[in-house]
C-alpha cells in the first residue's frame, strides 16, 4: 500500500477511517474481516447514490485559493534563503524532492518536501504553512527570536511547559504543523545513508508584518518599516526529534490496522474536525445518526462526544441535570415540549435602544494569506464590498429603493473609496442606529479602516459607536441586558428549527419565505471565491460576477430588516391580546 502524508494522517486520526476507505475505494469488491454483505451495502449506500451511483463524498471542486498558497510557499523559500544563506528553489509539487521508505511489511510511505537541500554535511528540510507566527509562538513564547529565526525556548516555568505540550498534540492549532514536519523528517532519516545532520525549518506568515507598498501588483514583499520579513522562520529540529516517538507509535498503529483489516465503529471526538476545514471526508457517514431534528449536536456551543459515543442521539437523551448552562437547558425544554421560547419583554427592551434612521450594514471581505494592499497584514480581511439598507422611519424601507451598496470594480485596492462611500451614506448627525449581525466582524473592519485612513477616524468612530448587534435580540447579551434590568443569561428567542444555530441564514426562514438557495452566491465563502476571480477576468465578466455579489450581500442586509420587523410583529401580537 502506498501511503502519502495526507493518507497517513487520515488513517491514524481514527481507527474507523481505514475500513471506510477500503469500502470507498473498492466498492462492492471490498473485503474486511467480520464484515457482512449487508453491512457493506449499508455503508456503500452512504457513499454512492443507490440509483445514480454518484459519489456522495466527492469534492472535485478546484480549490480557488491554491495559487495564493503557492505564493506563500514561494515567499517562504525566498525568506529562508535570505536569512540562512541557503539556496532552496520553489517547485511545483510533482517536481519537488520525493522522500519515500518501504517498511518490512511492504508498505511505501512517501511525501514531497516543500524545500529540500543537501550539502556535504547536512540535509535541510523546509515546511511552509499559511498560518500566523503567533500560532506557532503561543501565548507564553514557546519560541524565542534569535539571529533572524525563532528557536525553541529554554524556559521551564509551569505556564511555558504547559504551552509547549501543544507542540506535541497533533490535533492542536500548532501541533498539526509540527506533525507534518515530523513525517517529512522521519522519511528523510530513511533516505540518509551518509547519516548527515538533518535540520528542519518551518516558515509561516509573520503576524507583525505590515505591507508598506501602495500597489503591490508584482507580489514583492520587502522588509517592512520595522525590519520584518513577511515570513517568520522557526527552527523546529529539536521539536520534531522529540515528536518522532509519537509518530512512530502512530505508524505502528497504522500497520496493525492494515493487517487486522477490519471495520471499527467510530469513536467521535475533536479529531474528526467536524464542520472544520480539516474535517475527515467520512464525517457525513459517521455523523449520519445525528442528522435528525432535535439531535444532540444541536446543543448551543457544545459537542457532547462522550454522550454521543455512549449512544445518546437526541437533545432529550441528556437529562436536565446533566446540562451545565441555562441556554442548553432551555433548548432541551423547547424540544421536549415542542414549543418556541420568546421573552417578549426583553426583546422589546432591546428594540427600544434602536433609534431612527436605521442603517442595516454588512461587509464582505477577501482573506488573502499574503497582504495585497498598503497597511495590511498577512491573512487580513480585506474589504471589497458593503451592503446598506436605510430605514428612515419605522416601516419605511424598500428592498430595492432603499438599498445602497459599494462593490469593487476590479481586483485593485478599493478600500478608500469604500470608506468614503460608507461615511457619505451613513448620516448620524441627528442620531440613528447602525444595525449589524454579529458585530465583532464589522467592528474590527471599521477599526482597521480607522488605522488605514486616520483622516476619517472621527466619522468612522461615530459609526462604530452607533452599532447595534441584531443577534443580541435573539441570543441575548448579558452585559447589555443587565444594563436594561435583566439578570438571566437565557436566549431571548429560541425555535427548534434553529437547531442550535443563530446564523442569519437559519433565522431568516422563521420570519420569511426568502432564501439564499435561489442565489448564485449563497454564502460568504462563495462571495470570496467570486471576488477572487476578478484577478483575471475581463471587465464584462467581472460585471456579471458583481451582480451576483450585489444580490447576495443585499439579501444579508434585507434579512436584518425582515428579522427586526418580525420581532416587532411578535411584540405587537402579544400587546394586542
pLDDT digits (tens, 9 = 90+) for 441-486: 999 999 999 999 999 999 999 999 999 999 999 999 999 999 999 9
pLDDT at 103 over 70: yes
Q: Is residue 277 part of a domain?
A: no
Q: What is the pLDDT of residue 61?
A: 62
Are residues 361 and 320 both part of a single domain?
Answer: no
Are residues 58 and 70 both part of a single domain?
Answer: no
Helix (H, G, I), strand (E, B) or coil at 526: helix
Query: What range does the domain containing 44 cover?
Result: 2-62+256-266
What is the rounded radius of gyration, in angstroms, for the C-alpha atoms of the chain? Answer: 27
Are residues 333 and 463 both part of a single domain?
Answer: no
Helix (H, G, I), strand (E, B) or coil at 397: coil
Convert the pLDDT of each residue in 262-300 to its tens digit. 999 999 999 999 998 889 999 999 999 999 999 999 999
Are residues 317 and 233 both part of a single domain?
Answer: no
- ω before 6 within 30° of 0 (cis)? no
Convert the pLDDT of each residue in 221-262 to its tens digit. 999 999 999 999 999 999 999 999 999 999 999 999 999 999
Q: How confident is the model at residue 94 (pLDDT cuts 50, 70, 90)?
A: confident
Q: Is residue 275 part of a domain?
A: no
Give the up-direction half-sphere exposure of residue 297: CA atoms within 13 A in the CB hemisphere: 17
Are residues 358 and 324 both part of a single domain?
Answer: no
Are residues 130 and 201 both part of a single domain?
Answer: yes
Q: Is residue 276 part of a domain?
A: no
Q: Is residue 278 part of a domain?
A: no
Q: What is the pLDDT of residue 489?
A: 87
Distance CA 403, CA 360 (A): 9
**Residue finishing a domain among 210, 234, 266:** 266
What value does the mean pLDDT take over residues 5-31?
A: 96
Are residues 132 and 212 both part of a single domain?
Answer: yes
Q: What is the pLDDT of residue 339?
A: 97
Residue % of the chain over a pLDDT of 70: 99
**Residue 375, C-beta contacts closer than 8 angstroms, at least 6 positions apart:** 210, 211, 212, 451, 452
Are residues 57 and 105 both part of a single domain?
Answer: no
How far is the first Cα of the chain from the last one, in angstroms, to the nearest whole number?
A: 71
Q: What is the pLDDT of residue 389?
A: 98
CB atoms within 10 A of CB 44: 16
Q: Residue for cell digits 434585507?
A: 558
pLDDT at 86 over 90: yes
Distance CA 189, CA 230 (A): 31
Are residues 197 and 176 both part of a single domain?
Answer: yes
What value does the mean pLDDT take over residues 380-405?
A: 97
pLDDT at 502 over 70: yes
When divided into structural domains, the chain yields a total of 4
Distance CA 384, CA 362 (A): 11
Q: Which three cell numbers stand for residue 503?
A: 446564523
Q: How confident is the model at residue 60 (pLDDT cuts 50, 70, 90)?
A: low
Q: Is residue 509 part of a domain?
A: yes
Beta strands in 267-420 (DSSP E): 341-342, 358-368, 380-391, 403-407
Q: Is residue 103 part of a domain?
A: yes
Distance CA 197, CA 195 (A): 7
Give the up-direction half-sphere exposure of residue 499: CA atoms within 13 A in the CB hemisphere: 13
What value does the mean pLDDT take over residues 200-204?
A: 98
Are residues 431 and 540 both part of a single domain?
Answer: yes
pLDDT at 493 over 70: yes
Are residues 122 and 24 both part of a single domain?
Answer: no
pLDDT at 577 over 80: no
DSSP designation for 320 = G
Least confident segment among 92-101, 131-140, 170-179, 552-561: 92-101
Distances from the Cα of 146 to the Cα of 75, 131, 237, 244, angstroms: 21, 21, 15, 25
What is the sign, positive or negative, of the torsion defined by CA atoms of 53, 57, 182, 259?
negative
Q: Residue for cell digits 528553489?
A: 89
Q: Is residue 136 part of a domain?
A: yes
Taking Cα atoms as reference points, which of 407, 383, 387 lies closest to residue 399? 387
Are residues 107 and 27 both part of a single domain?
Answer: no
pLDDT at 216 over 80: no
Q: Is residue 279 part of a domain?
A: no
DSSP string, 258-300: HHH-B------SGGG-TTSTT--TTHHHHTGGG-STTBGGGST
Q: What is the pLDDT of residue 557?
A: 98
Q: How confident is the model at residue 62 (pLDDT cuts 50, 70, 90)?
A: low
Helix (H, G, I), strand (E, B) or coil at 464: helix
Q: How confident is the model at residue 37 (pLDDT cuts 50, 70, 90)?
A: very high
Overall size of the chain counted in residues? 577
**Residue 159, C-beta contacts closer than 8 angstroms, at least 6 positions apart:** 139, 140
Convert the pLDDT of each residue in 402-445 to its tens digit. 999 999 999 999 999 999 999 999 999 999 999 999 999 999 99
Q: What is the pLDDT of residue 480?
A: 96
CATH number at residue 492: 3.30.420
CB atoms within 10 A of CB 518: 9
Q: State the average pLDDT for the chain.
A: 95
Q: Residue for cell digits 491573512?
A: 379
Q: How confident is the model at residue 220 (pLDDT cuts 50, 70, 90)?
A: confident
Amino acid at each position: 500500500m502506498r501511503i502519502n502524508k495526507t493518507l497517513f494522517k487520515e488513517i491514524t486520526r481514527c481507527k474507523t477511517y481505514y475500513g471506510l476507505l477500503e469500502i470507498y475505494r473498492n466498492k462492492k469488491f471490498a473485503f474486511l474481516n467480520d464484515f457482512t454483505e449487508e453491512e457493506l451495502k449499508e455503508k456503500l449506500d452512504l457513499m454512492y447514490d443507490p440509483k445514480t451511483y454518484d459519489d456522495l463524498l466527492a469534492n472535485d471542486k478546484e480549490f480557488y485559493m491554491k495559487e495564493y498558497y503557492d505564493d506563500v510557499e514561494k515567499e517562504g523559500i525566498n525568506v529562508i534563503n535570505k536569512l540562512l544563506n541557503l539556496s532552496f528553489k520553489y517547485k511545483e509539487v510533482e517536481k519537488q524532492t520525493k522522500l519515500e521508505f518501504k517498511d518490512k511489511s511492504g508498505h511505501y510511505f512517501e511525501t514531497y518536501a516543500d524545500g529540500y537541500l543537501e550539502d556535504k554535511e547536512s540535509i535541510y528540510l523546509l515546511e511552509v504553512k499559511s498560518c500566523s507566527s503567533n500560532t506557532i509562538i503561543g501565548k507564553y513564547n514557546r519560541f524565542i527570536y534569535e539571529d533572524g529565526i525563532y528557536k525553541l525556548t529554554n524556559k521551564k516555568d509551569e505556564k511555558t511547559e504547559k504551552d509547549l505540550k501543544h507542540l506535541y498534540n497533533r490535533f492542536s492549532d500548532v501541533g498539526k504543523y509540527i506533525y507534518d514536519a515530523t513525517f517529512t523528517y522521519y522519511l528523510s532519516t530513511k533516505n540518509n545513508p551518509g547519516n548527515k545532520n538533518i535540520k528542519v525549518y518551518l516558515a509561516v506568515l509573520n503576524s507583525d508584518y505590515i505591507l508598506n507598498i501602495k500597489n503591490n501588483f508584482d507580489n514583492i514583499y520587502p522588509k517592512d518599516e520595522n525590519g520584518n520579513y513577511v515570513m517568520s522562520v522557526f527552527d523546529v529540529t529539536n521539536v520534531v526529534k522529540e515528536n518522532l516517538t509519537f509518530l512512530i507509535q502512530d505508524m505502528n498503529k497504522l500497520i496493525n490496522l492494515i493487517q487486522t483489516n477490519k471495520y471499527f465503529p467510530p469513536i467521535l471526538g475533536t479529531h474528526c474536525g467536524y464542520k472544520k476545514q480539516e474535517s475527515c471526508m467520512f464525517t457525513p457517514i459517521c455523523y449520519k445518526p445525528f442528522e435528525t431534528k432535535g439531535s444532540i449536536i444541536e446543543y448551543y456551543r457544545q459537542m457532547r462526544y462522550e454522550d454521543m459515543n455512549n449512544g445518546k442521539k437526541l437533545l432529550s437523551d441528556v437529562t436536565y441535570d446533566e446540562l451545565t448552562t441555562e441556554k442548553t437547558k432551555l433548548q432541551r425544554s423547547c424540544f421536549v415540549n415542542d414549543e418556541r421560547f420568546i421573552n417578549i419583554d426583553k426583546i422589546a427592551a432591546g428594540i427600544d435602544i434602536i433609534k431612527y434612521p436605521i442603517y442595516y450594514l454588512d461587509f464582505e471581505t477577501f482573506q488573502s494569506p499574503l497582504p495585497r494592499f498598503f497597511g495590511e497584514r498577512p491573512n487580513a480581511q480585506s474589504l471589497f464590498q458593503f451592503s446598506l439598507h436605510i430605514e428612515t422611519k419605522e416601516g419605511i424601507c424598500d428592498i430595492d429603493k432603499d438599498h445602497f451598496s459599494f462593490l469593487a470594480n476590479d481586483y485593485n485596492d478599493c478600500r478608500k473609496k469604500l470608506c468614503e462611500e460608507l461615511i457619505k451614506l451613513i448620516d448620524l448627525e441627528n442620531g440613528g442606529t447602525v444595525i449589524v449581525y454579529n458585530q465583532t466582524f464589522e467592528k474590527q473592519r471599521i477599526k482597521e479602516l480607522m488605522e488605514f485612513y486616520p483622516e476619517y477616524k472621527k466619522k468612522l468612530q461615530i459609526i462604530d459607536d452607533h452599532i447595534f448587534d441584531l443577534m443580541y435580540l435573539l441570543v441575548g447579551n448579558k452585559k447589555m441586558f443587565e444594563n436594561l434590568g435583566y439578570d438571566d443569561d437565557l436566549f431571548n428567542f429560541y425555535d427548534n428549527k434553529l437547531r442550535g444555530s443563530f446564523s442569519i441564514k437559519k433565522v431568516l426562514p422563521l420570519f420569511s419565505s426568502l432564501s439564499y438557495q435561489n442565489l448564485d452566491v449563497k454564502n460568504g465563502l462563495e462571495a470570496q471565491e467570486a471576488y477572487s476571480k476578478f484577478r483575471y477576468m475581463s471587465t464584462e465578466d467581472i460585471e456579471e460576477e458583481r451582480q451576483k455579489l450585489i444580490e447576495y450581500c443585499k439579501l444579508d442586509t434585507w434579512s436584518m430588516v425582515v428579522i427586526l420587523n418580525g420581532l416587532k410583529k411578535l411584540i405587537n401580537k402579544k400587546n394586542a391580546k
